[in-house]
Amino acid sequence: MDIRLISRTSTMKIPSRTLLVSLLVMPLAAQVLKPTPALPPDNRLKADILLVVAHPDDETGVSAYLAKLLDQHKRIEVVYLTHGEAGHNNMGPERGISLGAVRETEVRHSLASLGIDNVWFLDGRDTPSQNVLQSLGSWHHGLALEEVVRMVRLTRPEVIITWLPGFFIGENHGDHQASSVLATEAFDTAGDPAIFPAQLAAATKINETLLEGLRPWQPKKIYYFSDAQEQDQFKDSGPTYVTTEISPSHNLPYWRLAMDAFSFHLTQYRDYIEGLSKKKPEEQKSDWGDPVGLIFGKSLVGGSRTGDVFEGVTPAPIPFARAIPSGEEPAHASLELAGPWGFYDVFRREHALTQLPKAAIPEIAINHGQTLQIPLVVRNNSPAPQTITLSVTAPQTWTVADYTSSFSLAPGELSPVLVQVATPATDTNTGQVKCRAESRQQAIGEVELHVKLRAGGLPQ
């Protein structure tokens, strides 16, 4: 309490300090902050690892590794971009937002069983599609980034772990990839004092609701994980952790802790979970005992690609490091895949992640009989006008719909093109669609898309 301030503003005889407080200070205090010593950031929220994912159950891919870290007294916190309110409910009639509320409870119990209590849910809606851009649109990308940056500044993680940003068969949920795009963007911006400055401004009023008093925070490393069908493509991309060691705190192998934590996800996997409890331990181990593989993203503190996640990490904070883009757009006429595939080319370049694994040939899995949408962009980055012709080839039983095949582009101009290909209802299971662009009888670009036809899965 600032007695000097009160004395200066009072001309009354004050009988006691207590009365003084009740009579005079309260109206003043409503407007002016009392000068208290500056508090450091709340240490109860400090994280060693911040896991940023999209839905309740997304933690499963790394939960055995998280259990191991908890035995090493690492502080782990989790951010979910959505409540996972899409999909079916095996436990009751609750759907939509109510199902999301149930799934939040399930995953809170699941993580608490491992020893993780600080769990945050942001405002994104579960958006089932294969297109990362639809999820980013659904979440109002800028607003979602502000939320994720806030979580990074609040929890001050040394390391961020998130889904792999990339389009792979198997890893086909746009929400997963959108959570990883946002986590990567937050890694590169949370330390920047020019980004979301209202989060960083100190409070000026007692009832402050706009200025948040956070501090910039630069995480030291970012790692990714993927549920792509073909895991061999990630070999040697990062550290691998066996899950068969016994946890000293639980006296069970780490895979078993992960399996037990998973058993809370009943709205999604009731039949599987009930069946799991009837399986023999060796069968359970064969389902759950694989190592956890991470994919190295980047490090600002050194360490090797396949070395331990905490290699090079020390408690001292590090300064903001602006991402230096690697590579640039071609300086000639070109044809490229657009949509999520093209976005990832730009994303990897802008976030200096060009070493991240990507499919050797761009790929997608869709249902038999579905019409495949292939977004392309024809670009003229040359200094002269160009007339560009486009041709498309697909397997014999697939039908290519009419598309724009000729473009006159001024220097610097570009044109989007959508190629649509109807796939057969049966017979084939894979096919390649090739798109080729020419200018003055010379090829300026060729795009190939590997297409797998199979039942189930999300819409494109």
Binding site for Zn ion (CB under 5 A): 55, 58
Contacts of 321 (CB under 8 A, 6+ apart): 191, 218, 300
Q: Which is nearer to Zn ion, 55 or 351 (CB)?
A: 55
Contacts of 229 (CB under 8 A, 6+ apart): 168, 169, 170, 171
Q: How far is the CB of 316 from Zn ion (least distance, A)?
A: 35
In the complex, the smallest distance separating the C-beta of residue 359 from Zn ion, rounded to whole angstroms, is 20
Q: How far is the CB of 134 from Zn ion (least distance, A)?
A: 15
Q: How far is the CB of 176 from Zn ion (least distance, A)?
A: 6
Nearer to Zn ion, 172 or 299 (CB): 172
**Cβ–Cβ < 8 Å for 63, 36:** no
Q: How many CB atoms lie within 10 A of CB 260?
A: 19
By beta-carbon proximity to Zn ion, the closer residue of 70 and 81 is 81
Nearer Cβ to Zn ion (272/398): 272
Closest CA to 140 of 82, 201, 217, 226: 82
Beta-bridge partners for 47: none
Transcribe 189-251 into DSSP letters. HTT-TTSSGGGTSPP-STT--S---------SEEEEE---S-GGGGTTSS-EE-S-SEETTTT
**Residue 128 CB, nearest distance to Zn ion (Å)?**
10
CB closer to Zn ion, 50 vs 338: 50
Nearer of residues 266 and 419 to Zn ion, judged by Cβ: 266
Q: How far apart are CA 391 and CA 437, in angstroms?
A: 6
Both tokens of 274, joined, read 């009930």
Cβ-based nearer residue to Zn ion, 51 or 214: 51
Distance of closest approach, residue 411 Cβ to Zn ion, in angstroms: 44
Task: Give least dist CB 170 to Zn ion, A.
Answer: 12
Q: Helix (H, G, I), strand (E, B), or coil: what is residue 379? A: strand
Min dist. Cβ of residue 302 to Zn ion (A): 32
In which element (H, E) is residue 271 found?
helix 266-276
Residue nearest to Zn ion (CB): 55
- For 265, half-sphere exposure in the C-beta direction (CA atoms, 13 angstrom radius) is 22
Nearer to Zn ion, 58 or 158 (CB): 58
For residue 302, the one-letter residue type is G
Instruction: Provide the phi-psi class of 236: left if phi over 0, else alpha when psi is between -120 and 50, else beta.
Output: left
